[in-house]
């Protein structure tokens, strides 16, 4: 059986088995101290957001070796909850660390980010020309969503207000959360962001 020891992304710098593209969204993730790979333009639950996901390279290696690619069919993932299916369920490769909604109107992006508070940390990134007002900050604080504002090109965004670390306290792993992880895993594979190097 072929072995794999590291994840590579051409033209990007690897860190702790994961890589992060160099752009404003990845700098926002750095400001928020979210580890992992930043994926822009993910369409989840009819919302276009950026996702920060941490990859378990060993689980990815195991799935590559066993032929278990991403499973994006929601009903197929739901079957893993059955006791008789748990023994053959593939290991989870992706852990969601954060979701960022970006835009000009804070009401719109806050509504988008707020839908993911049960999955992971969340944040909104406002354009440089739109400074968050007190209503924005209070509403975001109520939902545990971090608020950032774009800075000059090439600079890290300004953190106007920190948010909750992780999902809401009542959140628990579910078929839905695992399905979202598989969707993110599929996007990483589609974008060639998880290419295992064969070592022999």
Q: Do 168 and 145 contact (CB within 8 A), yes or no?
A: no
Mean predicted confidence (pLDDT) in 52-77: 93
Q: Would the pLDDT of 7 be above 60?
A: no
Residue 88 DSSP code: G
Per-residue burial over 84-104, b = 16 or more CB atoms within 10 Å of its CB, e = otherwise? eeeeeebeebbbbbbbbbbbe
- How many Å apart are CA 79 and CA 84, to the nearest integer? 9
Question: Would you kindly state where each structural domain of the chain is located, as residue ranges?
Answer: 4-198
CA angle 107, 179, 35 (to 5 degrees): 65
Least confident of 13-17, 92-96, 167-171: 13-17
In contact, 8 and 193? CB cutoff 8 Å: no
Predicted confidence at residue 153, as pLDDT, reads: 82
What is the reported pLDDT for 192? 86
The pLDDT of 144-161, averaged and rounded, is 93
- Is the CB of residue 18 less than 8 Å from the CB of residue 34? no
Q: Are strands 121-126 and 146-149 parallel, antiparallel or unpaired?
A: parallel
| pLDDT score recorded for residue 128 | 85
Residue 148 structure tokens: 């950032």
pLDDT band at 12, cuts 50/70/90?
Answer: very low
pLDDT-derived band at 196 (thresholds 50, 70, 90) equals: very low
pLDDT score for 195: 64
* 73 φ/ψ angles, rounded to the nearest 5 degrees: -80, 120
pTM: 0.83
d(CA 107, CA 35): 27
- Residue 195's DSSP bridge partners are 8
Measured from the Cβ of residue 107, the count of other Cβ atoms closer than 10 Å reads 12
Query: Residue 136's closest CA among 157, 158, 108, 164?
Result: 108
- Average pLDDT value for residue range 125-135: 91
pLDDT band per the 50, 70, 90 thresholds, residue 133: very high
- In the predicted structure, residue 197 carries a pLDDT above the cut 60: no
Mean pLDDT for all residues in the chain: 85
pLDDT at 51 over 70: yes
Residue 49 has pLDDT above 50, yes or no: yes
């Amino acid at each position: 059986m072929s072995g794999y020891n590291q994840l590579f992304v051409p033209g990007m710098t690897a860190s702790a088995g994961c890589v992060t593209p160099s752009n404003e969204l990845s700098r926002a993730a750095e400001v928020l101290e979210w580890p992992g790979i930043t994926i822009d333009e993910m369409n989840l639950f009819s919302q276009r957001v950026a996702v920060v996901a941490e990859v378990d390279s060993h689980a990815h290696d195991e799935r590559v070796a066993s032929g278990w690619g991403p499973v994006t069919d929601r009903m197929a993932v739901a079957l893993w909850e059955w006791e008789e299916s748990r023994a053959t369920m593939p290991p989870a490769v992706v852990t969601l660390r954060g979701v960022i909604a970006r835009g000009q109107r804070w009401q719109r992006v806050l509504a988008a980010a707020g839908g993911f508070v049960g999955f992971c940390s969340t944040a909104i990134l406002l354009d440089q020309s739109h400074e968050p007002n007190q209503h924005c900050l209070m509403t975001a604080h109520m939902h545990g969503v971090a608020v950032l504002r774009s800075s000059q090109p090439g600079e890290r965004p300004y953190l106007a207000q920190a948010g909750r670390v992780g999902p809401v306290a009542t959140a628990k792993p579910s078929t839905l959360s695992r399905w979202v992880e598989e969707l993110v895993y599929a996007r990483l594979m589609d974008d060639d962001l998880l290419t295992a190097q064969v070592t022999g």
